[in-house]
Amino acid sequence: KCAFDPSATVSDTCISYESINAINDEIYTLLQSLTIESDFFSYYRLNLFNKECPFWNDESSMCGNIACSVNTIESEEDIPLVWRSEELSKLEGPKANHPPRDLREKLPKESPLQGKLGAGVGESCVIEYDDECDDMDYCVPEDEGSTGKGDYVSLVDNPERFTGYAGEGAHQIWNAIYKENCFLKPIEEEFQEQSLHVPLGGLEAVSDFRNVLQKESRKESLRPDGLPFDNECLEKRVFHRLISGMHASISTHLCWDYLNQTTGQWQPNMQCYKERLHDHPERISNMYFNYALVSRAVAKLRKHLKSYTFCTSDPAQDFDTKQRMNQLTDVLARPPKIFNEEIMFQDAAAQGLKEDFRNRFRNVSRLMDCVGCDKCRLWGKLQTSGYGTALKVLFEYDETKNGENPPYLVALINTLGRISHSLAAARSFHEAFEAGHEHA
């Protein structure tokens, strides 16, 4: 069986679900230990509360369930050192590459920041610069539209799972993502919308996407269910699959870690999975597609990551993190290549299309500020940032060039961790269906 419909494939060969599952078996435990046990990857800083939805008034769609809430870290002391030093490193200064082995050692004399990161902090630690979005990025800066730099959150203490967030508010977001930001809006709706045009802030910026390119082929290229026909251009299909795959991964997690309201137990819910995924095999395929895309981006960073040192305040843990990252990229960089980014954005209209693609993706990120459930917003923001990073690495990043800014690794690796977990959960659900346990 092919993981990807051959007519929609972006890889040279037809990769089977089994072969992707086999790769996942090799890296699943590594990824879980990286994202759960390492301080470097298990904390995330973001603007969770003080950014307004830039597109509509979302006050009425807030989720009041306790499961929607997020515990943030209030005290500086509970934040791993590397992230505290990040705050301090906002001072202008060069980035260095070779940290001292032992962070307790004295800083080298030629330390570029002259100790400004604080005593005992290697100046060449990998630092996540989250305010460096530029025109070539697929993300929006976390401080866009807000005053502060945000809150620190432990991802382990706030797992992605069922929250009860549903209904109109949640649908409005998914609708906006699919109907406004995808290349796939049916022509009749576009027509209606033009006559009822409401200013939508940032969304307007990308509604220019109704460019000639699309109009030419649109009528013939949409099926009644909004999915593209095979003649839809490759890049548009990729965009759609990416969004649908992300949605499918979120749905898998909420069905996997579901609250049984009768018993109060958190457990997998077969019916939930059946309705949202099992009965829609294309959504599962899109999830595998995302796995291939993000894995390829991480593989592309292999060389770059070899020279990284992850420094928190615990050298033994940092050593483990480095070893695990090396193992991870070694597995992912092995042939065959399961996603071939080189065939995208190649024809004459490529540059405009790429910009369009990038702008739309940024809008999907902005839509995350409209999500009315804190925990869903946390994971939605992290994952859009992770996919945005993957796209940047695939389409803008030159692996042969030294001195490129490091990408947003925390979001990228956690996003891969999430899809890896989704694939494993989907497989368990599938096996339970095969064994006839539908009613479990």
174 annotated ligand binder = yes
Task: Report in angstroms how near the CB of residue 276 gets to ligand FAD at its nearest.
Answer: 6
Distances (CA, A) of 295 to 131, 303, 322, 330, 377: 25, 14, 18, 11, 24
Mask 203-242, x = binds ligand FAD (CB under 6 A)? Answer: ----------------------------------------
161 annotated ligand binder = yes
Our finding on whether 385 is near ligand FAD (CB under 6 A) is no
Which letter does DSSP use for residue 203 in this model?
Answer: H
Neighbours of 429 (CB within 10 A): 24
Measured from the CB atom, is 58 or 320 closer to ligand FAD?
A: 58
Measured from the CB atom, is 165 or 361 closer to ligand FAD?
A: 165
Measured from the CB atom, is 247 or 354 closer to ligand FAD?
A: 247
Check 139, 272, 370, 376 and give the catalytic one.
376
Check 53, 133, 255, 373 and give the catalytic one.
373
Measured from the CB atom, is 262 or 346 closer to ligand FAD?
A: 262
Our finding on whether 299 is near ligand FAD (CB under 6 A) is no
Instruction: Name the segment binding ligand FAD (CB under 6 A); options: 21-29, 39-47, 249-257, 385-393.
Output: 249-257
Our finding on whether 421 is near ligand FAD (CB under 6 A) is no
- DSSP letters, 17-54, are HHHHHHHHHHHHHHHHHHHHH-HHHHEEEE--SS---S
Measured from the CB atom, is 39 or 374 closer to ligand FAD?
A: 374
Number of residues that bind ligand FAD (CB under 6 A): 22
Our finding on whether 291 is near ligand FAD (CB under 6 A) is no
d(CA 410, CA 130): 11
Select from 373, 408, 362 the least CA-distant residue to 48. Answer: 373
The contacts of residue 258 (CB under 8 Å, 6+ apart) are: 161, 162, 266, 267, 268, 269, 272
User: SS3 sequence, 155-199?
Assistant: CCCCCCCCCCCCCHHHHHHHHHHHHHCCCCCCHHHHHHHHHCCCC
Measured from the CB atom, is 375 or 421 closer to ligand FAD?
A: 375
247 annotated ligand binder = yes
Structure tokens belonging to residue 98: 């070779």
- Answer for which of 8, 23, 31, 254 binds ligand FAD (CB under 6 A) is 254
Our finding on whether 382 is near ligand FAD (CB under 6 A) is no
Measured from the CB atom, is 85 or 163 closer to ligand FAD?
A: 163
Select from 37, 22, 107 the least CA-distant residue to 323. Answer: 37
Task: Report in angstroms how near the CB of residue 378 gets to ligand FAD at its nearest.
Answer: 8
Residue 203 has φ and ψ, to the nearest 5°, of -65, -30
- DSSP letters, 368-396, are GGG-SSHHHHHHHHHHHHHHHHHHHHHHH
Q: Is 376 a catalytic residue?
A: yes
Cα atoms in the Cβ-side hemisphere of radius 13 Å centred on 325: 28
Structure tokens belonging to residue 246: 């992300």
Our finding on whether 173 is near ligand FAD (CB under 6 A) is yes
User: For residues 131-160, which are near ligand FAD according to CB under 6 A?
Assistant: 160
- Answer for which of 36, 62, 166, 187 binds ligand FAD (CB under 6 A) is 166
Our finding on whether 361 is near ligand FAD (CB under 6 A) is no
Specify whether the CB–CB gap between 260 and 267 falls below 8 A: yes
Which letter does DSSP use for residue 153 in this model?
Answer: E
Instruction: Name the segment binding ligand FAD (CB under 6 A); options: 92-100, 192-200, 245-253, 318-326.
Output: 245-253
Our finding on whether 183 is near ligand FAD (CB under 6 A) is no
CA 50 to chain centre: 21
Task: Report in angstroms how near the CB of residue 245 gets to ligand FAD at its nearest.
Answer: 7
Please enumerate, by residue number, every residue annotated as part of a binding site for FAD: 161, 163, 174, 244, 247, 276
Return residues touching ligand FAD (CB under 6 A).
160, 162-163, 165-166, 170-171, 173-174, 244, 247-248, 250-251, 254, 283, 368, 371, 375-376, 379-380
Active site residues: 373, 376
